[in-house]
A and B are shown apart, each in its own frame.
Chain A
Amino acid sequence: MSKEKADLLQGTLDLLILKSLRLEPMHGFGISVRIRQLSDEMLTVEQGSLYPALYRLEEQGWIKAEWGVSENNRKAKFYALTPTGRKQLQVEEEQWNRLCTAINLLLSHG
């Protein structure tokens, strides 16, 4: 059975990446798996969007990358939240919640 897939709202990818890194550093594949799992298979991240986003976030200083060893014993690049990244996550979560509230209000009055 295939679940319906939600379209990823523009700008939310950053939020999802930061959120999935909140607990532990992960490599790119792990992040994509984590997002799929956490969203109950509703959200999938295209690799073509994921890596540019990762590099952009790294450039902005919200995440940092380190080389480690993956579960299949391969060299892998692990991404971790930086302190500013952690703050940014909070900001983005609040923004998202406000947006959701606003949209829900709008819909409920419709």
Chain B
Amino acid sequence: MPSLRALVRPLLTAVQRRRREREMAAELQLHLDLLTESHREKGLAPEEARAAALREFGHVEGIKERARDGWSWGWLEDALRDFRTSARSLRRTPAFVLAVVLTLALGIGANTALFSILHAVLFRPLAVTDEARLVVLREFQRQDAQAGYGVSYLNYRDWSTQARSYTGLALVSVTTVSVAGQGDATQAPAAVVSPSLFDVLGVTPALGRVFRPEDDRAGGAEGRRAVLLSHSTWQSRFGGSAAVLGQTLLIDELPHAIIGVTPAGLFPVEAEPVHYWVTTAAYGDPGVSGTANASRGYRCYLAALGRLKDGVSLETARAELGSLHAGLVAAHPSLGKDLAAEVTPLRELLIADLRPRLWLVFGMVATVLIIACVNVANLLLARATTRQRELAVRAALGAGAWALVRQSLIESLVLAGAGSAFGLLLAAWFLSALQALQPASIPVLTALGLNAPVLLFAVVTAGLTGLLCGVAPAFVAHRSAPSDVLKSGGRAGTESGWPDRVRAALVTGQVALALVLLLSAGLLARSLNALQRVRPGFDTGEILTAQLSFSGHRYATDDFDPSKINGFLSRAEERLRALPGVTAVSHAQCVPLTPEENNTRFTVVENPSPPGQSVSAQLRFVGAGYFDLLRIPLRKGRALAETDLPSTPAVAVVNEAFVRSFLTDRNPIGLHLKLGWGGSGAKEIVGVVADVRHRSLSDTPRPEVYVPQSQFANAGVTLLLRVQGSAAGLAPVLRGVLSEIDPELPVTAIKTLEAYRETALAPHRFSAFLFGCFAGLALLLTVIGLFGVITYHVSRRTQEIGIRMALGATPRDVLTLITGQGMRLVGLGIGLGLVGSFGATRLLRSHLYGVSPTDPLTFVAIALLLASVACVACLLPTRKALRVDPNVTLRCD
């Protein structure tokens, strides 16, 4: 067993070297002196004795030199010597070094950058205690995927009193609140949570205190309700001052006391999704009918968060919730028997959407790295083959096989080290570029950086890369039989043995991998193109939108009377219509291509669904003129109009998808709908409009019900203005008009509809861009590799080419011969790549829109592209060889 000492000793001896030199000098001097003395004792004069001693002793420096051979400096000195030898021999070939280092830098840099993303998204721990025991409890409809996940307050309350698997449960939801009382009135994202949340998460406040159970009621503990600031809001809006404690904020126009500040980086505050924290009291008193909290069927919370007790497994918790929930559904038939509940580990939920995409990307850059490694291995192999003579001489002079292999490996490790150093620079640059380009859907990207695990990854990758690249050439070094190599004069005449076969195999594999990447990029580009051409069903032309929030009490009424909100809207729209350039004005609860969802259960009065089964559709509150403004065609009946008022009969318009899904065999006009919310009375269907892609461009249109905002006062409203000229340019005017009518009304997100479309396209653009970059890189590396191998091949066959031409071969014959050999490899690689792609591109399926994973056009086009680029890479070096005079090639060595 190698002891620690054995490992440390070489280091110590290196340190001790100077001491040993000194000691040796002293020892030899003593010997010389004693020798002199012995001669004097024999009766010689001092000078003669000294001269005799020196004669007898011999050459002191020669002795020292030989004595040093007795010292062993261990592997460290061997390695240092090899390192110096490598550096010397590499310095002689700067072009080779540059090619290798750049290739590795690209490969390692890309991998490091991507690992940094993976690390940030998948592995970085949350700022909570023992995250692994945190689970998420949610309800969902078994038969109705689009109904979404959530938890109703009353069901949560029953779970938390009956469940035994958790040390605690807490409710979480995210909403938008208006904030006033300190500085400008704004709208801000806020979390609505039960006071137990902070216990469940196991976090302590950065300042003040967290919620107590008594905060969770309308009055709050101090006569005002309680609000917590998120850490970054505290810093940016309140200057990080401790004096904020006890100050009053108007949250949705109600006085709230600031009681504390949450710790920095707390979930769910990744990239700060919420600025304020309020208690579940914000959703009303569960004891008062009509509030969100009082509805057992209204899943107004995102989820319940639980901490599993020690020793309780996920399976136990799942079984328990399953039986609890079955009991609830049995006790409350109105919930419908399709309602189920599930338990999911928190981490799994957080990364569920991103994981496949990130692993895909990682697979892609790993492929690029492999291609880069293959290039470097090929270059090193070529170098090793031309250096066979040098290696053979060294072997003949007594260098052991291991010494030669070690030399070769150290050389590739030196190159990999240099490559990874440049790679880190590239990664740092790439990450900052990526952050500039990132889609908003990946908030964690803000936390990117080259931290310790990332650096470790780069070092390990560099080491592995060095070994991987060095193995083949080291093998050549190992296999060199000195006598054979020296006899052959250090150059093989024609095709020679396995290094060439290895090289051919490597190039073939490289072409295959590059093809897979290129195909993926091609498919994603086609998919992006298809998405950009998607007709969403509405016109995104010059339309400006502005989000308003009427959630405060100045606009609220006890009986959902819409008159105050409608009053504001009609005044605003009247003024806006009068603005020059504005051709139409309307409003809606949310505009298409925003992530907001608004699902409701419904029944068709004339055609009720069987009891216990519930159907749902998307509910949209819109103003008169909405369909005209967005150019959504009316298919049947009439659109919603100015004449639909609270006093007139309740009406609704449905889309074609709704008719297709629920009313295939009936004329929808004149039927009546009862909705889960948005007014309790039955609404008469007065029209059918064409489908729009509301949620996303790639989404198939879903059943939708439009009801007039004028008949139900929804507090969140988005104004829409169709503008002649530049819509974006009108934004300041719009803001001015709105603040003249009500300076305290929070107005956010003044954006053009086109901007929303761009946002919706961004993730797809991002994927296509990323894959395009890396596939381009892979193509470049492959072409360079191919070019290098053919160049090398040709240079070794210069003599053969000379002979052929001397014997009458035309340049065309030679060109065909050499290029043909290269293209055979390429053809084989493309064949393998195509076969592999049939499997690999299937992984892309969920990322593609409007194009099949085995789209023949893409496959053929990309294969042709690769083949023609490869053909050029084969032709260039061959042509160079042809320009050489056969006389010269035949005479060279």
List A residues at the B interface (Cβ < 8 Å): 27-29, 32-33, 46-49, 51-56, 58-59, 70, 72, 74-77
- Taking the complex as formed, is B663 at the interface, i.e. its CB lies under 8 A from any CB of chain A? no
Given known A-B contacts A54-B70, A59-B70, A77-B23, A47 and B30 have beta carbons under 8 A apart: no
Q: A48-B62, A51-B63 are in contact. Are A74 and B30 (CB under 8 A)?
A: yes
Q: Take A47-B58, A59-B72, A72-B37 as given contacts and tell me if A52 and B30 are in contact as well, using a CB distance cutoff of 8 Å.
A: no
Closest to A55 in B: B70
Main secondary structure of the interface of A (DSSP, over half): helix
A32-B31, A77-B23 are known contacts; what are 12 more A-B pairs with Cβ within 8 Å?
A28-B27, A28-B31, A47-B57, A47-B58, A51-B27, A51-B66, A51-B70, A52-B66, A52-B69, A74-B33, A75-B30, A77-B30
Pairwise interchain contact B26-A75, C-beta atoms closer than 8 A: yes
Check: B399 CB closer than 8 A to any chain A CB: no
How far, in angstroms, from A86 to B383 measured CA to CA in the complex?
Answer: 51
**Which 9 A-B pairs rank lowest in CB-CB distance, beginning with the nearest?**
A55-B70, A56-B70, A51-B67, A52-B70, A29-B34, A29-B31, A48-B63, A52-B67, A52-B66
B24 near A: Cβ within 8 Å?
A: yes
- Cα distance, A28 to B57, chains bound together (Å): 12
Tell whether, in the assembled complex, residue A72 and residue B67 are in contact, meaning their CB atoms are under 8 Å apart: no
Total contacts A-B at CB 8 Å: 62
B30 touches A55 (CB 8 A): no
A11 to chain B minimum Cβ distance, whole angstroms, is 15
Q: Across the two chains, which residue of chain B brings its CB closest to A33?
A: B38
Give complex CA distance A49, B70 in Å.
10
Distance in Å: Cβ of A1 to nearest Cβ of chain B: 15
A53-B27 contact given A47-B57, A47-B63, A74-B33, CB 8 Å threshold: no
Q: Are B28 and A51 in contact (CB under 8 A)?
A: yes
Interchain CB contact under 8 A, A76 and B37: no
Query: Is B35 located at the chain interface by the 8 A CB criterion?
Result: yes
Chain B residue, CB-CB nearest to A59 = B72
Query: Does B498 make an interface contact (CB < 8 A)?
Result: no
Q: What does DSSP make chain B's interface, helix, strand, loop or mixed?
A: helix
CB distance from B856 to the nearest CB of A (A): 71
CA distance A48 to B90 in the complex (A): 37
Mark each residue of chain B from 20 to 52: 1 if its CB lies under 8 Å from any CB of chain A, else 0: 000110111011011101100000000000000
Please classify how large the interface on chain B is, using the bins under 10, 10 to 19, 20 to 34, 35 or more: 20 to 34
Tell me which of B30, B58, B59, B68 contacts A29 (CB under 8 A).
B30
| Cα distance, A83 to B709, chains bound together (Å) | 101
Residue of B nearest to A58 (CB): B70
Check if A29 sits within 8 Å of B35, measured CB to CB.
Answer: yes
A76 with B30: CB separation less than 8 A = yes
- In the complex, the chain A residue whose C-beta lies closest to that of B56 is A47
Question: Which of A27, A55, A74, A76 is B67 in contact with, Cβ under 8 Å?
Answer: A55
User: Given the complex, which residues of A lie within 8 Å of B69, measured CB to CB?
Assistant: 52
Least Cβ distance of B132 to chain A in Å? 52
26 chain-A/chain-B pairs, Cβ below 8 angstroms: A27-B30, A28-B27, A28-B28, A28-B30, A28-B31, A29-B31, A29-B35, A32-B31, A47-B31, A51-B63, A51-B66, A51-B70, A52-B67, A52-B70, A55-B67, A55-B68, A55-B71, A56-B70, A59-B70, A59-B72, A72-B33, A72-B34, A72-B37, A75-B30, A76-B30, A77-B27
The complex places the Cα of A48 from the Cα of B26 at a distance, in Å, of 15
Whole-angstrom CA separation of A32 from B56 in the bound complex: 12
Q: Bound complex: CA of A18 vs CA of B69, how far in Å?
A: 20
Cα A46 to Cα B63 with chains together (Å): 10
Residues in A neighbouring B26, C-beta threshold 8 A = 75, 77
Q: Distance in Å from the Cβ of A68 to the closest Cβ of chain B?
A: 11
Bound-state Cα–Cα, A72 to B67, Å: 25
Complex CA–CA separation, A70 to B33 (angstroms): 11
Closest approach, in angstroms, between the C-beta of B85 and any C-beta of chain A?
24
In the complex the two chains form, what is the Cα distance from A29 to B33 in whole Å? 10
- What chain A residues lie within 8 Å of B72 (beta carbons)? 59
Chain A residues lying within 8 Å of B71, measured Cβ to Cβ, are 55, 59
Most-contacted residue by chain A among B24, B26, B31, B66 (CB, 10 A): B31
- Please give, as numbers and ranges, the residues of chain B lying within 8 Å of A58 by CB-CB distance: 70
Instruction: Select B66's contact among A48, A70, A72, A75, beta carbons within 8 Å.
Output: A48
Contacts of A47 in B (CB 8 A): 28, 31, 57-58, 63
A35–B848 CA distance with the chains assembled, in angstroms: 89
Closest beta carbon of chain B to A85's beta carbon, Å: 15
Indicate if the CB atoms of A70 and B30 lie closer than 8 Å. Answer: yes
Chain A positions within 8 Å of B37 at CB level: 72
Chain A positions within 8 Å of B35 at CB level: 29
A51 to B26, CA, bound (A): 12
CA distance A51 to B68 in the complex (A): 9
- State A74–B58 Cα separation when bound (angstroms): 22
CA distance A33 to B62 in the complex (A): 21
Q: Chain B residues near A29 (CB, 8 Å)?
A: 30-31, 34-35
Partner of A53, one of B57, B58, B62, B70: B70
B42 CB to closest chain A CB (Å) equals 13
- Assembly CA distance A72 to B35 (angstroms): 12
- Closest A residue, CB atoms, query B37: A72
Looking across the interface, which residue of chain A has its beta carbon closest to that of B69?
A: A52
- Interchain CA distance A32-B30 in the complex, whole Å: 13
Q: Mark B53-84, 1 if CB is under 8 A from A, else 0.
A: 00001110011001111111000000000000
- Chain A nearest CB from B123 CB (Å) reads 48
Q: Are B70 and A48 in contact (CB under 8 A)?
A: no
How far is it, in angstroms, between the C-alpha of A33 and the C-alpha of B621 when the chains are bound? 113
The chain A residue sitting closest to B57, CB to CB, is A47
Return chain B residues, CB-CB under 8 Å to A55. 67-68, 70-71
Find out whether the CB atom of A46 lies under 8 angstroms from the CB atom of B58.
yes
The residue of chain A having its C-beta at the shortest distance from the C-beta of B59 within the complex is A48
**How far apart are B5's CB and chain A's nearest CB, in angstroms?**
12
Residues of chain A contacted by B31 (CB below 8 angstroms): 27-29, 32, 47
In the bound complex, what is the Cα–Cα distance between A29 and B32 (angstroms)?
A: 8
Q: Are A70 and B70 in contact (CB under 8 A)?
A: no
Residues of chain B from 296 to 321 with CB closer than 8 A to chain A in the complex = none
**What CA separation (Å) do A75 and B31 show in the bound complex?**
11
- Neighbouring A residues of B70 by C-beta, 8 Å: 51-56, 58-59
Which residue of chain A has the shortest Cβ distance to B72 in the bound complex?
A59
Q: B62, A70: Cβ atoms under 8 Å?
A: no
In Å, the complex CA distance between A54 and B27 comes to 12
* Chain B residues positioned under 8 Å from A27 (CB to CB): 27, 30-31
* B72 smallest CB distance to A (angstroms): 5
Which residues of the partner chain A approach B67 to less than 8 Å between Cβ atoms? 51-52, 55
> In this complex, which of B23, B66, B71, B72 has the most chain A Cβ atoms within 10 angstroms of its Cβ?
B66
CB-nearest residue of chain B to A76: B30
Compute how far the CA of A28 lies from the CA of B72 in the bound complex, rounded to whole angstroms: 20
- Report the Cα distance A27→B72, complex, angstroms: 21
Nearest A residue (CB) for B24 = A51
A28 to B30, CA, bound (A): 9
Given A29-B30, A55-B70, A74-B30, also A48-B58 (CB < 8 A): yes
Which chain A residues border B24 with CB–CB below 8 Å? 51
A52 contacts across to B, CB distance below 8 A: 66-67, 69-70
Contacting A at CB under 8 A, from B819-868, are none
CA distance A75 to B37 in the complex (A): 16
CB neighbours of A53 from chain B (8 A): 70
Q: In the complex, how many angstroms separate the beta carbon of A2 from the nearest chain B beta carbon?
A: 14
Q: How far is the CA of A58 from the CA of B71 in the complex (A)?
A: 9
Residue ID in chain A nearest B27 by CB atoms? A77
Complex-state Cα separation, A72 to B32, whole angstroms: 13
The distance in angstroms between the C-alpha atoms of A33 and B57, with both chains bound, is 13
Closest beta carbon of chain B to A109's beta carbon, Å = 38
A13 to chain B, nearest CB (A): 12
B33 cross-chain contacts in A, Cβ below 8 A: 72, 74
Residues of chain B with a CB closer than 8 A to A49's CB: 66
Point out the residues of chain A lying under 8 angstroms from B27, CB to CB: 27-28, 51, 76-77
A32 surroundings in chain B (CB, below 8 A): 31
Give Cα A75–Cα B67 distance, bound, in whole angstroms: 20
In the complex, what's the smallest C-beta–C-beta distance from A46 to chain B, in angstroms?
A: 7
Cα distance A32–B38 in the bound complex, in angstroms: 13
Report whether A70 and B34 are in contact in the complex, using a CB–CB cutoff of 8 Å: yes
Interface residues of B in 175-226 (CB under 8 A from A): none
